[in-house]
Each structure stands twice: as structure tokens, then as C-alpha cells.
């Protein structure tokens, strides 16, 4: 127990070693660390998650000097969050992807705990306005028609069934999307025009993968 106290004390005081006001733990990075490794000093300092959250803190907490640490694992982030809450640590924050925590009533409500608005920071960043801005910057052509917005909304509408299926399975630590191999089986990303949802194939694949196992019962 004494070891635990020293660990928590080190957590609450470590901002002093970086000459900052706050330490913020995030997901992200190629390596996932457990809580013991994190408290021993392991973390990643250059991740996309840090870029995203740094921009938010720069905008909304610009008066604070912040050190960001990516530790990979969301479960580790949640464990740190519980230490922050139980020990009333004011100098450490955590920030993580929402995923389906809000839908499943699993969000941790505390002033030092931050979540993305959507499933992940990528969902918060990516919108039809972002897509249009990137295309305009790369092509040097001003887009005036609503085609991108219309196609983006249609894409979201058609993929929603797959997202609902993913949320349903998520509560049992399962996934509709084969995330590990990185292949989105319901999205054709190589058309001659725009990416589109393969609705028939996706529905059939869902039944084949999960329906026969009784997952949907």
C-alpha cells in the first residue's frame, strides 16, 4: 500500500518536473502501456492524438502550460482517471475517444476527464467542410456546388446500419468492423468516382459472421 501512495504522490507532483501546470494522458502511439509502466515513466511524445488534443487545449485552456503523454491503451487511461478521482488530483487530466461509452452509459463524469464528441478524434475532425477544404487546397479550385456535402451525408446515412451493429456488439467486446486487419469490408474505397457503401454485401456479411452464432438473439 505504501508503494501505491508513492506512485499516486509521484503522479500528482510530476508536472513540477516538466515545469508545466498540467499533465494530460492520452491514447495513441504504437505501443500500449499498462498503468504500472506509465507511472514508471513510459509514454509516447509524438502521436496524432497529441496533435488533436493540443490544439483543443491551446484554444480553450491557453493560460495553462501542458505536457501531453500518449500511453496507447484506453483501459490504462480509465485506470488513471479513477486514480485522479479517488485521490482528488488536480494537476493531471486524461482525454480519450468516446467510442460507445456515452451510448452504453460508461462515461466517467469528472472535470479532469475529457472525451471526444464523436466516436474518436478522427470523427470530430473529419466532416464535409474538412473534405472540401482539403480538395480545394490541393486542387486550387473553389468548390461552389453542394456535391461533396450531399455525398458525405448519403455516405453517413448508408453506413449508419453498420455503426448500429458495431455498437450492439461493442457491449460484448465484439466488433462488426474487422479493425485488426484494417479492411473496411462494407466500403469500396477504389471506385472511379467516390467511395460508397456496399449495402447488400455488408448486410449479408453481418448475418454470416454473427447471426448464425446467435449474437443477435
pLDDT, one tens digit per residue, over 97-130 is 999 998 888 999 999 999 999 999 999 998 888 9
pLDDT on residue 211: 52
Instruction: Examine the fold and report which residue of 99, 123, 147 is the final residue of a domain before the chain moves on.
Output: 123
Instruction: Examine the fold and report which residue of 123, 144, 169 is the final residue of a domain before the chain moves on.
Output: 123
Say whether pLDDT at 79 is over 70: yes
| Residue matched to cell numbers 493560460 | 63
- Same structural domain for residues 65 and 12? yes
pLDDT on residue 92: 97
Cβ within 8 Å of residue 189, ≥6 positions away: 195
Assign 214 a pLDDT band (cuts: 50, 70, 90). very low
Please give the tally of structural domains in the chain.
2
- Same structural domain for residues 209 and 173? yes
Parent domain of 13: 2-123
Burial of 180 (0-12, 13-18, 19+ CB in 10 A): exposed
Instruction: Examine the fold and report which residue of 123, 145, 171 is the final residue of a domain before the chain moves on.
Output: 123
Amino acid at each position: 500500500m505504501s508503494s501505491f501512495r508513492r506512485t499516486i504522490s509521484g503522479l500528482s507532483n510530476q508536472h513540477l518536473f516538466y515545469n508545466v501546470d498540467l499533465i494530460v494522458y492520452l491514447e495513441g502511439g504504437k505501443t500500449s502501456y499498462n498503468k504500472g509502466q506509465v507511472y514508471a515513466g513510459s509514454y509516447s511524445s509524438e502521436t496524432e492524438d497529441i496533435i488533436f488534443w493540443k490544439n483543443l487545449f491551446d484554444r480553450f485552456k491557453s493560460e495553462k502550460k501542458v505536457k501531453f503523454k500518449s500511453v496507447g491503451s484506453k483501459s490504462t487511461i480509465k485506470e488513471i482517471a479513477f486514480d485522479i478521482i479517488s485521490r482528488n488530483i488536480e494537476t493531471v487530466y486524461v482525454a480519450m475517444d468516446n467510442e460507445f461509452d456515452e451510448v452504453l452509459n460508461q462515461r466517467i463524469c469528472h472535470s479532469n476527464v475529457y472525451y471526444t464528441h464523436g466516436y474518436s478524434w478522427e470523427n470530430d475532425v473529419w466532416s464535409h467542410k474538412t473534405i472540401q477544404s482539403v480538395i480545394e487546397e490541393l486542387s486550387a479550385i473553389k468548390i461552389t456546388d453542394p456535391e461533396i456535402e450531399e455525398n458525405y451525408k448519403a455516405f453517413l446515412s448508408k453506413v449508419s446500419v453498420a455503426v448500429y451493429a458495431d455498437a450492439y456488439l461493442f457491449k460484448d467486446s465484439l466488433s462488426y468492423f474487422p479493425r485488426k486487419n484494417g479492411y473496411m469490408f462494407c466500403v469500396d474505397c477504389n471506385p472511379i468516382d467516390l467511395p460508397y457503401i456496399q449495402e447488400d454485401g455488408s448486410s449479408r456479411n453481418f448475418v454470416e459472421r454473427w447471426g448464425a452464432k446467435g449474437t443477435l438473439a
